[in-house]
Amino acid sequence: MSAEAVVLNKVFGILRRELSAEEYVRYLRMVTPRIGDATKELREKTKDLSLDEVIEGAEEIEKRGGGSAG
């Protein structure tokens, strides 16, 4: 394991101990690099679909267990 990985493991261990689960997740979201614009991408992917088709697609994903809490 690299020296950087050792340091990161220590940092994340400290954060897990000192922050609540909600605070820890919020921290990870703040420091995780984001690529692209998810809203723009979703709009582009669904631009030719009716609202009913979008809802049906979302329901199918949930049935398959592919739903994701944001």
Q: What is the pLDDT of residues 6-55, one digit of tens each?
A: 888 898 889 888 988 888 888 888 877 777 777 777 778 778 888 788 77
What whole-number distance in Å separates Cα of residue 39 and Cα of residue 8? 31
Q: Which of 22, 2, 27, 1 is nearest to 12 (CA)?
A: 27
pTM of the shown model: 0.40
Most distant CA pair in the chain, distance: 52
Using CA atoms, how far apart are residues 62 and 50, in angstroms rounded to an integer?
A: 19
What number of H helices and E strands is found in the chain?
4, 0
Higher pLDDT, 15 or 58: 15
Given this model, what pLDDT does residue 70 score? 45
